[in-house]
Structure 1
Amino acid sequence: MTVDSAKPSVFDADLPTLDYGFTDTPQNIYPQFLAAQQQAPIALGPIGPEILSYELARSVLRDPRFVIPPGIHLSAHGITEGPLWDRVTRSILNMEGEEHRRLRGLVSRAFTPRATGGMHDTIHTVVNELIDRVIDSGRCEFVADIARPYPIPIICALLGAPRDDWQQFSRWAEDIFKIVSFDCNLAEEQSVVLKAWAEFDDYIDDMVAHRRRRLSDDLLSELIRIEDDGDRLDASELRMLAFSILVAGTDTTRSQLAASMQVLADHPAQWELLRDKPELAMRAVEETMRHSPSMCSTVRSVTADVAIGAYTFPAGTFILVNTYAANRDSAVYHDPARFDITRDEPPPILTFGGGVHYCLGANLARLELAEALKILTERIPTPLRTGSVPWKPLLGLSGPTSLPIEFG
């Protein structure tokens, strides 16, 4: 039924359709995205309307009427209530409205140069140690050997956790990440997740108690310091934010580093250009995240009829903002399938989201990726892929599951 005669429902607008499975990878589906983009800014996909155009995707991401469905990953596992549901839906990653604005306003003041600027030394130490382990063999499985172990030490240093605790953080992360994984039966693994989460909370409580006695220059100290007109973060909010940093900053960085490494390895001239001109590192991050992102989409929903662009989204509609397609919109990016780290002032990528849910850690993520790529191109001769590179599906967090390479 048409909701608004002036702006028809997306379901009545004769939009192109996308026919792909939940296990299909971005590369496999891209020809469909490309064909659909030439017909309309929206297509009807397997979970609902998919925003394909850059301008409409940016508008939806910035529009507060389009909200993140609470607990969407849990719902996919049939979990819609209980202690795990309560914990996940109360995190800042699922918040909306005034509570979200308050917390985000406070937290954004903690991501200061003092809290993140000291990461260079840790990043260089971690990346070089990982390369040292494989460089003499002349080959590695990049995902397992470098990308996977890379982010946890960075997050530990960001929060102020000592090096001796890196492995413990990794173990907690592996169990907690079952929340966003489709590779396990989460309904059966809830107790494992909750146990790891509780241990992580206890650890953070101890750190907070110590920081309150003696503040430092780490992010946790900044979160304790911040105050706005007498408003401060309480203990439960500090725990929740530390958890959100762990979840949001680990697998995303792992997957994107592997994806960036693959596309650079597949374009040896670009690899050599970055090696010879390390000042292009930030451009390389933007271009690899535009061309080969590990985060390809984000889901929104509407609780009331919403008209935007030429269409109306009826209440209850689930919308996939397809940033993979939007970042390759030929109306915005010239020759969008071409990979080129020298693109001159390209429009901002949409991979980090937009509006009130724009990734708070975007600048730190860019720093982690840029410094890692500079060191990799400096130390590793032209990498050569030695096998196929399977990717995780488009829906959820994508990226290579393995990347076998030889060096030069």
Structure 2
Amino acid sequence: MTAAATKPSVFDAGLPTLSYDVTDTPQQIYPQFRAAQRIAPIALGPIGPEVLSYEMARTVLRDPRFVIPPGIHLSAHGITSGPLWDRVTRSILNMEGDEHRRLRSLVSRAFTPRATARMHDAIHLVVNELLDAIQDTGRCEFVAEVARPYPIPIICALLGAPREDWQLFSRWAEDIFKIVSFDCDLAEEEPVVLKAWAEFDDYIDGMIADRRRHLSDDLLSDLIRIEDGGDRLDAAELRMLAFSVLVAGTDTTRSQLAASVQVLCEHPDQWALLRADSDLAMRTVEETMRHSPSMCSTVRSVTADVEVGEYTFPAGTFILVNTYAANRDHTVYDDPTRFDITREDPPPILTFGGGVHHCLGANLARLELAEALKILSHRFRYARRTGPVPWKPLLGLSGPTSLPLEFGP
């Protein structure tokens, strides 16, 4: 630690220790988080310091000195260079500094309320088609039959791809998502990932060429239209942004929709409230993402000693911003373990991140979830789970891997 640091290092401050396994689910670990929160805003976890308090988590997420470690998922597989490393670390999801600020400034102009609102009809079409397929059976495996196929046709509609090509997008997504999975040997799967990514890029290149001749009413056309003082997005940036939309908007929506439906099933009074009042749909999204998020944490690192509150994070430290715990901070949320879609003016959830890395597609994600939950509650008077609901681990993208349901019209 440098001489300039005046606060104790997080490693020497007597902080509580978390002793969970990296394969444990959020529900398994939560009692440890709750106990540690009552002692300090930070605890020492298996991969490093974990920020647990709402206020400190919000501070760290907004502080540009805390950066996203480049290629962290690849590093976990031992990949630290090469073509896959170059592609991943050059995406907007991994960028920092001036280049990141420039791209966000341009791209944010395409994620307007109007652009989000025009997805309404596509969302309703896809949700209702998925529910039509299970309506008469009275039961389904929700993850496989509804949540998993839901986002890809929406992303096709968002970008302006023909609806019939959603299966192509789905196949590419399955292969490309190996970069954020711990269920495969990524070094062995790298050629598969690169092949799918190249095919996706070729497809987007064709769309870009077509849109440059005939602009339309879709996100890709909006991105092409954007200009700021003569600055425009080039073809490589447009390809990269289309890839980022696919990666950031698919598994996150799948997992959160399943998690939201599970917690509503376990609180039938809340399901009934939503069914009776569709205006509660957005509040339901916020509360399910606070209480039962599929994205439970995000990783940051520091390249120099950084003081926050009463502590110093030494240079080189990897920090887990534990938004799962922060969204249940008892000093900020009244009775934080209570699931209540009628909470009045709760503090904003931290699940979408913060600062320069706040999710650009947050409003679209909220709309996708709100409309899906609204339609579900209207079409089905009740939904009950009929078996166990295993979850993926806390670290990475969590959420149910299976959700067997029965429902009534």
Return the TM-score normalized by structure 1. Answer: 0.99
Alignment map for 1:108-119 (pairs within 5 Å): 108-119=108-119
Match of 1:290 in 2: 290
Contact 2:391 2:399 in 1 (8 A): yes
Whether the 8 Å contact between 2:176 and 2:196 is mirrored in structure 1 is yes
1:114 to partner: Cα distance: 3.6
**Runs of 4+ residues over 6 Å off in structure 1:** 1-5
Q: Aligned partners of 2:302, 2:376: CA distance in 1, in Å?
A: 43
Residue 113 of structure 1: CA displacement? Answer: 3.3
Alignment of 1:296-375 (within 5 A): 296-375=296-375
CA distance in 2, matches of 1:373, 1:21: 33
Name 1:217's counterpart in structure 2: 217
Aligned to 1:19: 19
Q: What corresponds to 2:388 in structure 1?
A: 388
Task: Give the corresponding residue for 1:179.
Answer: 179
Please give the secondary structure, in 2, of the residue aligned with 1:329: coil
**1:380, CA displacement in angstroms?**
1.3
C-alpha distance in 2, partners of 1:282/1:113?
15
Mapping of 1:2-151 within 5 angstroms?
A: 6-151=6-151
CA offsets, 1:172-215, max 9 Å, x none?
00000000011111010000000000000000000000000010
1:156 & 1:236 partners in 2: Cα distance? 19
Tell me the alpha carbon deviations over residues 129-155 of structure 1, each in whole angstroms, 9 at most, x when there is no partner.
000111100000000000000000000
Q: Deviation at 1:118?
A: 1.2
The Cα shift of 1:5 comes to 6.7
Where does structure 1 lack aligned partners over 5 or more consecutive residues?
Answer: none
Determine whether 1:378 maps to 2:399: no
Q: Distance in 1 between the 2:5 and 2:367 partners?
A: 48
SS of the residue aligned with 1:134? Answer: coil
Separation in structure 1 between the aligned mates of residue 122 and residue 365 of structure 2, nearest angstrom: 14
Q: Which residue of 2 aligns with 1:228?
A: 228
Counterpart secondary structure, 1:10: coil
What letter is aligned with 1:290? R
1:63 aligned partner, one-letter code: D
Normalised to the residue count of structure 2, the TM-score between the two structures is: 0.99
Checking the alignment, whether the CA contact within 8 Å between 2:5 and 2:307 is kept in structure 1 is no
C-alpha displacement of 1:4? 6.2
- Describe how 1:150-169 pairs up with structure 2 within 5 A: 150-169=150-169
Shift of 1:381: 2.2
Residues 386 and 105 of structure 1: CA distance in aligned 2, closer, same or farther (over 3 Å):
same
Note if contact 2:5-2:305 (Cα within 8 Å) is conserved in structure 1: no
Counterpart of 1:370, as a letter, is A
Whole-angstrom CA distance in 2 between matches of 1:2 and 1:392: 39
- TM-superposed CA distance for 1:2, in Å, is 8.8
Tell me the distance in 2 between the aligned counterparts of 1:297 and 1:31: 16
Match in the other structure for 2:252: 252
Deviation at 1:117, TM superposition (A): 1.6
Aligned equivalents of 2:210, 2:28: Cα separation in 1? 50
1:121 maps to amino acid:
D
SS at match of 1:299: strand
Q: Distance in 1 between matches of 2:224 and 2:164?
A: 23
Please report the RMSD computed on the Cα atoms of aligned residues, expressed in angstroms. Answer: 0.9
Amino acid at match of 1:96: E
SS in 2 for 1:136: coil
CA distance in 1, matches of 2:190, 2:114: 37
Q: Is the 8 A contact 2:54 2:329 kept in 1?
A: yes
Rounded Cα–Cα distance in structure 2 between residues aligned with 1:138 and 1:380: 10
CA distance in 1, matches of 2:307, 2:322: 19
Range with greater deviation from structure 2 (115-124 or 344-353): 115-124
The letter of the residue matching 1:23 is: T
Distance 1:98 1:159 in 2: 26
- Percent sequence identity is 83
5+ residue gaps, structure 2, are none
Amino acid at match of 2:25: T
Contact 1:116 1:219 in 2 (8 A): no
Deviations 1:328-375 (A, max 9, x none): 000000000000000000000000000000000000000000000000
Whether the 8 Å contact between 2:5 and 2:312 is mirrored in structure 1 is: no
Is the 2:383–2:407 contact (alpha carbons within 8 Å) kept by the matching residues of 1? yes
Is the CA contact (8 Å cut-off) linking 2:41 and 2:56 kept in structure 1? yes
Distance in 2 separating the partners of 1:395 and 1:24:
8
**3-state secondary structure, aligned to 1:157:** helix
The answer to whether the 8 A contact 1:352-1:362 is kept is yes
